[in-house]
Chain A
Amino acid sequence: MSGANATAGFAPPRTLVLPPVGLLLAWTVIALVLSWAVVPGLFAWHDPLQGVAGEQLLPPSLEHPLGTDGLGRDMLARVVYGARESLLGALLAVGVGLTLGTALGLLAGARGGIADAAVMRLVDTLLAIPSLLLSLSVIILLGFGSINAAIAVGFVSVAHFARLSRAEVLRVRRTEYVEAAFGSGGRFLAVLWRHVLPNALTSVLALAALQFGSAILALSTLGFLGYGAPPPTPEWGLLIAEGRDFLATAWWLSCAPGVVVLLVVLSAERISRSLGARRT
């Protein structure tokens, strides 16, 4: 996708397309969700883990704005308390992919030669093994849990980050100012740190922002396949996956967390776009 990066420098009149209201809304959504993660008790008045027997599968009401699940647990509480687990999981997944992948890509791009060849073959190997097999085995090895599922999701994206960052490093290295920095006797690591990394990172970070949303979804897919966090953890992806069996009888169970994920992903994307526009 280097074609995209080459043209990323042009700033089309995007800000006119979506009025700033959208951006404002995006920030509001993120702020709200973050505060769910920090102080869930302010937003939900029921226990997310303890249900009330006999109150299962209630439709939305004043008492339970999003209804109750099959065990009589308040869905709003589960969505609100799920914010922490979900956001942490997505951040961790992106973090794992970003750090490992960028490190590998940087090493390959900057060193070149044998290191490059070795790293790229490793990356090829990772890409050649079906990602489904890779992530499921990683989860089985580490044990079931939201953190481990996040690591598995991150692990699968390492190869993509590595390829992208390597390409970016190669691009940046060829620019005149980096050549100049090397030429003026700069130490390899210093130049790498000061000039190459910041410039290569822009598009890598753009990928990271995109990955954030897909990480939440990847976690939910794992939940669908039965490899999600163990019960009774409230985690958005898992809530969507578990609620799908009730689509005909209690559609709100999977739609409510689904809409939350949708809004968060859209907002993250909107914000990352505005940040990107400011950077360039």
Chain B
Amino acid sequence: MTTTRRHILAAPALLPVLAALGAREAAAQASPVRGGTLIYLEQQTYTNLYPPAGGFYPNGGVLNQITDKLTYQNPQTLEIEPWIAESWTVNADATEYVFRLRPGVTFSDGTPLDAEAVARNFDTYGLGNRELRHPVSEVITNYQRSEVIDPLTVRFLFHRPSPGFLQGTSVIGSGLVSPRTLALPFDQLGDATKIIGSGPFVVARQVLGRELVLNARRDYAWGPKNHPHQGRALLDSIRIIVSGEDSVRIGALLAGQAHVIRQIQAYDEERVRSRGFQIFAPSTRGVNNSIVFRPDNPLVADIRVRQALRFATNTQEIVDTLFSPNYPRATSIIASTAQGYVNLADRLIYDPRRAVELLEEAGWTLGPRGVRQKDGQELVLTAYESLPQPRNKETLQLVAQQWARIGVRLNVLAGDSGSRVVDNLDPAKTPVSPAMVGRADPDVIRSQYHPLTRNALLQTGGVSQRVRSFHDARLNDLLDAIASEPNREKRLALVGDVQRYILDQAYVIPIFEEPQVFAAAPRVRGLGFEAVGRPSFYGTWLAAR
């Protein structure tokens, strides 16, 4: 039963894959054409291109074209495959990794991409550089040091087991850059021309905040080993142009002024598709788009209140009203395409009657204004909308409408970044908050919930000074175990335990599995996406009109 259900639920997620397959079939009929300039419209400009900052989508869209990674995570199977590293070995407790590099790879400034350079990259990403203000990468944990064994062999040593490291070498945040780039202070890495990678494209010129032109590297011959395309990129160049208005991006695409655009809202998908254009919606495979509770706030400290609000949230209604089949309803705290996913849909049912019972049980009774109260305090919660998440303002408003039906008020704030950051650290001000993060490794759950990392639940011991007492040692132990369990089976089992635990504690209301939605002109072929939905133009080409 669970499996069928899972398949039904996963079916919409397959649609974009099918569309992509369709494109690939068409591609098979006509042989790829080399040359041409592709125009890609971004919603926002890139910021700092220090590779670990590649989580920001506009940054990832640039870095994915100009840098290579040690390993390649196959976006279909999520298996780790050879790229710059031809082969690797990991010791039994995942504290020692040895990578054997492909010979003959160079950065675009001519310096060789050898063991020395790889070691330098990961020393920076794993340890940071205080002097140059390079921060540590989120995806690398327990890093100790590197050893260059010979020019093409490098060993990495860890304090404690770091089973997520292998996948960590495949993400955008671990893009390899020239030692010359790493010698620059962090404050200069927003200049794309200074980011020297070994990737299929090279930065040709930039107009800050407006446009970036990438040219294909003619001598590129080291694409991922199992990638369908090999050799240099098919396109001659890519123009990445910033166009912030949704209507302008879509209009430009449909009018033939652009080839690929990022960020299509659900209500525009039909219009784009009906004109024969392609929609791609790769999943971000991480923690679902959710509402998290901050149990440090007394209003949501009682598990019954949190459960009640979860029962009162009609996620199906949200998905139906605001989104499309590309945004599957959440069935766990992580996406169904994520590793270690367990279908927990039976714990995520909509039952407003049960919600009311729980609130009554917890002592919250309906007040005169239609808002529940207890000891003179009203059940009024506040959340900031999250700008990068699709239609988050509408989502929260819809949630507010649903909660209002059981007598709970949710105020949705639209704040400036400063207030949002400061208030989001204070459980008293933001008892609930929207949250999501994408990464195709079980480590992503730890990233999201552990107090030492993103600390979504706001536990003590994290960045926030405002948390008084909330701390869940059992949760943190589970999360730590995921990050350091070398056995794959055991690790995935732990991921299941965490999903169940977080839902049992009702810390989170998962809403939908967040995709990144792109649209492309009919003549665009071979558009690829890495495991969490950043575009890859390596095998892309433009068919004749």
- List residues of chain A with CB under 8 Å of any chain B CB: 49-51, 53-54, 56-57, 70-72, 136, 139-140, 143-144, 226-228, 230-232, 244-249
* Contact between chains at A71 and B321 (CB < 8 Å): yes
**Contact at B247–A71, with CB atoms within 8 Å?**
no
Provided the pairs A230-B413, A231-B412, A246-B267 are in contact, do residues A53 and B247 lie with their beta carbons within 8 angstroms? no
The answer to whether residues A70 and B413 also contact, given A231-B397, A232-B397, A248-B247 and a CB cut-off of 8 A, is no
Min CB–CB distance B143 → chain A (angstroms):
38
| A70 engages B320 (CB within 8 Å) | no
Bound form: Cα–Cα A31–B404 in Å = 34
Q: Is the CB–CB distance between A140 and B411 below 8 Å?
A: no
- Nearest B-chain residue to A137, judged by Cβ: B416
For residue A49, which residue of chain B has the nearest CB? Answer: B401
Chain A neighbourhood of B321, CB < 8 A: 53-54, 56, 70-72
Contacts of B250 in A (CB 8 A): 248
Closest to A139 in B: B416
Q: A231 is contacted by which of B247, B393, B416 (Cβ under 8 Å)?
A: B393
Q: Which of B387, B393, B416 contacts A140 (CB 8 A)?
A: B416
A-B contact count (CB 8 A): 72
Q: Which residues of B contact A249 (CB under 8 A)?
A: 267-268, 271
Q: Which residues of chain A come closer than 8 Å to B320, judged between CB atoms?
A: 53-54
User: What would be 25 A-B contacts, judged by CB atoms less than 8 Å apart?
Assistant: A50-B404, A51-B401, A53-B314, A53-B320, A56-B321, A70-B321, A72-B321, A139-B416, A140-B416, A140-B419, A144-B413, A144-B414, A144-B415, A226-B387, A227-B416, A230-B412, A230-B413, A230-B414, A232-B397, A232-B400, A232-B412, A245-B246, A245-B247, A248-B271, A249-B271
A230-B414, A231-B412 known; A71-B398 Cβ under 8 A: yes
Q: Which residue of A lies closest to B396 (CB)?
A: A231
Question: Is B25 interfacial (CB 8 A cutoff)?
Answer: no
Which A residue sits closest to B314, measured CB to CB?
A53
Q: Which residues of A contact B245 (CB under 8 A)?
A: 244
User: Ordered nearest first, which 5 A-B pairs have the shortest CB separation?
Assistant: A140-B416, A53-B321, A53-B317, A230-B414, A245-B246
B271: chain A residues at CB < 8 Å are: 248-249
Q: How far is the CA of A193 from the CA of B418 in the complex (A)?
A: 45
* Chain A residue nearest in CB terms to B414: A230
Is the beta-carbon distance between B267 and A230 smaller than 8 angstroms?
Answer: no
Q: Give residues in B with beta carbon < 8 Å to A.
A: 245-247, 250-251, 265, 267-268, 271, 314, 317, 320-322, 385, 387, 391, 393-394, 396-398, 400-401, 404, 411-416, 418-419
From A54, A144, A245, B265 is in contact (CB under 8 Å) with A245
A269 to B508, CA, bound (A): 53
Which of B246, B317, B387, B401 is within 8 Å of A50, CB to CB? B401
- Chain B CB within 10 A, most for which of A54, A71, A227: A71
Q: How far is the CB of B175 from chain A (nearest CB, A)?
A: 31
Residues of B within 8 Å of A54, CB to CB, are 317, 320-321
Q: Give the shortest distance, in Å, between A74 (CB) and chain B (any CB).
A: 14
Contact residues in B for A71 (Cβ distance below 8 Å): 321-322, 394, 397-398, 401
The distance in angstroms between the C-alpha atoms of A13 and B397, with both chains bound, is 53
With a cutoff of 8 Å between Cβ atoms, the chain A residues found around residue B247 in the complex are: 244-245, 247-248
Contacts of B268 in A (CB 8 A): 248-249
Q: A32 → chain B, closest Cβ, in Å? A: 28
Of all chain A residues, the one with the shortest Cβ separation from B250 is A248
Given A140-B416, A140-B418, A230-B413, verify A57-B267 contact (CB < 8 Å): yes
A113 to nearest B CB, angstroms?
A: 41
Residues in chain A near residue B391, CB distance under 8 A:
70
Bound complex: CA of A56 vs CA of B322, how far in Å? 8
Which of A49, A50, A136, A231 makes the CB contact (< 8 A) with B414?
A: A231
Partner of B267, one of A70, A143, A232: A70
Counting chain B CB atoms within 10 Å of each CB, the highest count among A70, A144, A249 belongs to A70
CA distance A139 to B416 in the complex (A): 9
B245, B247, B385, B414 interface centre (most CB from chain A within 10 Å): B414
Apart from A227-B416, A231-B385, list 19 A-B contacts with CB within 8 A.
A51-B398, A51-B401, A53-B317, A71-B322, A71-B397, A71-B401, A72-B321, A140-B418, A140-B419, A143-B419, A144-B413, A230-B413, A230-B414, A231-B396, A244-B245, A244-B247, A245-B246, A248-B247, A249-B271
Residues of chain A lying within 8 A (CB to CB) of residue B394: 70-71
Q: How far is the CB of B405 from chain A (nearest CB, A)?
A: 9
B414 contacts A226, C-beta separation under 8 Å: yes
Of all chain B residues, the one with the shortest Cβ separation from A140 is: B416
Task: Please measure, in the bound complex, the distance between the C-alpha atom of A248 and the C-alpha atom of B253, giving whole angstroms.
Answer: 13
CB distance from B492 to the nearest CB of A (A): 36
Closest residue of chain A to B265 (Cβ to Cβ) is A245
Q: List chain A residues, Cβ under 8 A from B401.
A: 49-51, 71
B490: shortest Cβ distance to chain A, in Å? 43
A205 vs B182: C-alpha distance in the bound complex, in angstroms? Answer: 61
Question: Which residues of the partner chain B approach A247 to less than 8 Å between Cβ atoms?
Answer: 247
Q: Which chain B positions have C-beta within 8 A of A70?
A: 267, 321-322, 391, 394
List of A residues within 8 angstroms of B265 by Cβ: 245
- B246 cross-chain contacts in A, Cβ below 8 A: 245
Of residues B251, B396, B401, which shows the largest number of chain A Cβ atoms within 10 Å of its Cβ?
Answer: B401
Across the interface, name the chain B residue whose C-beta is closest to A250.
B267
Q: Do residues A248 and B251 form an inter-chain contact, with CB atoms below 8 A?
A: yes
Which of B251, B385, B398, B412 touches A53 (beta carbons < 8 Å)? B398
**A133–chain B nearest beta-carbon distance, Å:** 13
CB-defined contacts of A230 to chain B, threshold 8 Å: 411-414
A246: chain B residues within 8 A (beta carbon): 267
CA distance A245 to B245 in the complex (A): 8
CA distance A248 to B272 in the complex (A): 11
A139 to B250: give the CA distance in the assembly, Å: 31
Whole-angstrom distance from the CB of A232 to the nearest CB of chain B? 5
A51 to chain B, nearest CB (A): 7
Measured CA separation A144–B412 after assembly (Å): 11
A133 to B394 Cα, complex, angstroms: 28
Q: A219 to chain B: closest CB distance in Å?
A: 14
Taken together as a complex, chains A and B put the C-alpha atoms of A38 and B243 apart, in Å, by 41
Chain A residues contacting B404 (CB-CB under 8 Å) are 50
CA distance A53 to B320 in the complex (A): 8
Q: In whole Å, how far is B437's beta carbon from the nearest beta carbon of chain A? A: 22
* B262 CB → nearest A CB, Å: 15
Residues of chain A with a CB closer than 8 A to B267's CB: 57, 70, 246, 249
CB distance from A85 to the nearest CB of B (A): 15
Q: Which residue of B lies closest to A242 (CB)?
A: B393
The complex places the Cα of A71 from the Cα of B416 at a distance, in Å, of 24
Interchain nearest-CB distance for B19 vs A (Å) = 21
List residues of chain B with CB within 8 A of the CB of A140. 416, 418-419
Q: In the complex, what residues of B have CB within 8 A of residue A56's CB?
A: 321-322
Which residue on chain A has the smallest CB distance to residue B413?
A230
B270: nearest chain-A partner, CB-CB: A249
A54: min CB distance to chain B, Å? 7
Q: How far is the CA of A247 from the CA of B247 in the complex (A)?
A: 7
Distance in angstroms between the alpha carbons of A232 and B320 in the assembled complex: 20
C-alpha gap A71/B412 in the complex (Å): 15
Q: Closest Cβ of chain A: how far from B115's Cβ, in Å?
A: 47
Chain A residue nearest to B387 (CB atoms) is A226
Contacts of A144 in B (CB 8 A): 413-416
List of B residues within 8 angstroms of A53 by Cβ: 314, 317, 320-321, 398
